[in-house]
Structure 1
């Protein structure tokens, strides 16, 4: 073989080697050759997102064959603490900017969070509304048993804002760690009413009735989402955040009762 032929062969081998390394890097970071993401994507999301994000997660998997979305739902404050303590997660979706700030303030976010939805409170009562609750003032009546979220949880902070705006003082019989817990007390007949998000009351409409009240406009929650700095699947994290803000996901959120940001 001539010297020129030898040099040409070496260039071809080197080019193939570099190309192979590039492909392997994309796969390791969760990227597929066609631009879709692959691998597991773990999402920590506020409990009030349970129904909407369950569907959005399935839709994301269909749009990205080879991906698997794992959802962990709980109160936003509890999830933020888990993220800051090093729990392996790719994405965090909170029910309030204040809770998100504990994660960004600790340096655990990959970029700035973006608001993807808004939510508003209603009074959830058992079907038939036996206590005849028509507004916030009724929650302060003697004998009316009320469930609220704990103050450190976004739904609890929103409830306190609404109650203060209405000048209503009450002592709840229970303080729950997330909105699903407060709603469960109504569904089980253990309380006469609970302050929950409109979306959660809609999801449980077979068991509860939602009572709207004007003061809820003073306590609307913005929902921010962010990819996490130490995400095991960075490409998947960024893709899922983008998908939540896409038209198909926004349609799912709207159907669940969320407001556009």
Structure 2
């Protein structure tokens, strides 16, 4: 699959939000920057994950379209797994959207119809309101890590260094899982970080470091792994750290959605997530 001009991507995004229940226009507009196809980077990621996302285990014979919303930290492995599933089931299309788990859950609560939601942490599921998942399974876990630019120019050795006035620190917004987790870890350590900005999700937070706009960020361990050398990781001691579960919620009884959910939660899905730096559920 390829990513075309912006207009084409926008059309695909609109198609991905199947607003059968008269979704308010604001919901669709919110979804547009988040919903994307299995576009640029998918084939490369699938190649790197190798056998983890290929083989007969993905073949199910199902057909149809599956719309999946997932936490930003899941972008690489879920794109690769979606492409592998489509290759094994050519009559199935997986539509993907990534962003803050809280925002994605709120969109579902407001009427955006999706088949699967993969959330970073369980609190985001509380934002679903009256929308009840058909089933929920934990597919992975994650922990936090400090990310710095290559070479760690600010010489950040641990959480205490994030309080230095000469260290520009970026965190996720307080309302999203990675932000809440970072605040929890910093509070436990008794550290008041020198925060210069708080970003909409973990992808935007990490980008501040990769672009050289920050000296450090508190992100997920999987993000440091997925950055593949674009950042360096500084480990947070387990006694100071926290761990988040990644639940996969399924809505409705669609056979293709159930098959893809089983693929994500199965051996090939777990292997791809492990390769991306996630912990076993």
Q: TM-score, normalised by structure 2?
A: 0.76
Q: Distance in 2 between matches of 1:256 and 1:153?
A: 21
Q: Distance in 1 between matches of 2:94 and 2:239?
A: 33
Q: Distance in 2 between matches of 1:213 and 1:188?
A: 23
Report the counterpart of residue 42 of structure 1 in structure 2.
67
Q: 198, 204, 211: which is aligned to 1:181?
A: 204
Report the counterpart of residue 131 of structure 1 in structure 2.
154
Decide whether the 8 Å contact of 1:124 with 1:196 is kept in 2.
yes
Answering whether residue 116 of structure 2 is matched by residue 91 of structure 1, we say: yes
Decide whether the 8 Å contact of 2:188 with 2:240 is kept in 1.
no
What residue ranges of structure 1 are gaps of 5+ in the alignment? Answer: 1-33
Report the counterpart of residue 223 of structure 1 in structure 2.
246
Q: Secondary structure at the match of 2:205?
A: helix
Decide whether the 8 Å contact of 1:111 with 1:227 is kept in 2.
yes
Report the counterpart of residue 155 of structure 1 in structure 2.
178
Decide whether the 8 Å contact of 2:164 with 2:194 is kept in 1.
no
Decide whether the 8 Å contact of 1:145 with 1:191 is kept in 2.
yes
Decide whether the 8 Å contact of 1:227 with 1:234 is kept in 2.
no
Q: 176, 200, 210: which is aligned to 2:233?
A: 210
Report the counterpart of residue 275 of structure 2 in structure 1.
255
Report the counterpart of residue 5 of structure 1 in structure 2.
none
Report the counterpart of residue 31 of structure 1 in structure 2.
none
Answering whether residue 126 of structure 2 is matched by residue 101 of structure 1, we say: yes
Q: When the two structures are aligned, how many residues end up with a matched partner?
A: 223
Moved more, 200-209 or 133-142: 200-209
Answering whether residue 76 of structure 2 is matched by residue 51 of structure 1, we say: yes
Q: 199, 202, 209: which is aligned to 2:222?
A: 199
Deviations 1:182-239 (A, max 9, x none): 000001111100001111111113321011010576411100011124xxx8222222
Q: Secondary structure at the match of 2:120?
A: coil
Report the counterpart of residue 113 of structure 1 in structure 2.
136
Report the counterpart of residue 72 of structure 1 in structure 2.
97
Decide whether the 8 Å contact of 2:60 with 2:89 is kept in 1.
no
Structure possessing the higher radius of gyration over alpha carbons: 1
Please report how far the alpha carbon of residue 127 of structure 1 lies from its aligned counterpart in structure 2 after TM superposition: 0.4
Report the counterpart of residue 237 of structure 1 in structure 2.
257
What residue ranges of structure 2 are gaps of 5+ in the alignment? Answer: 1-58
Cα 1:220–1:102 change in 2 (3 A) is same
Q: Distance in 1 between matches of 2:153 and 2:84?
A: 40
Report the counterpart of residue 4 of structure 1 in structure 2.
none
Deviations 1:94-147 (A, max 9, x none): 0010002322xx232332311110011110000010100010000001221000
Decide whether the 8 Å contact of 1:165 with 1:215 is kept in 2.
no
Please report how far the alpha carbon of residue 171 of structure 1 lies from its aligned counterpart in structure 2 after TM superposition: 4.1
Report the counterpart of residue 27 of structure 1 in structure 2.
none
Please report how far the alpha carbon of residue 85 of structure 1 lies from its aligned counterpart in structure 2 after TM superposition: 1.0
RMSD across aligned positions (CA): 1.6
Cα 1:218–1:81 change in 2 (3 A) is same
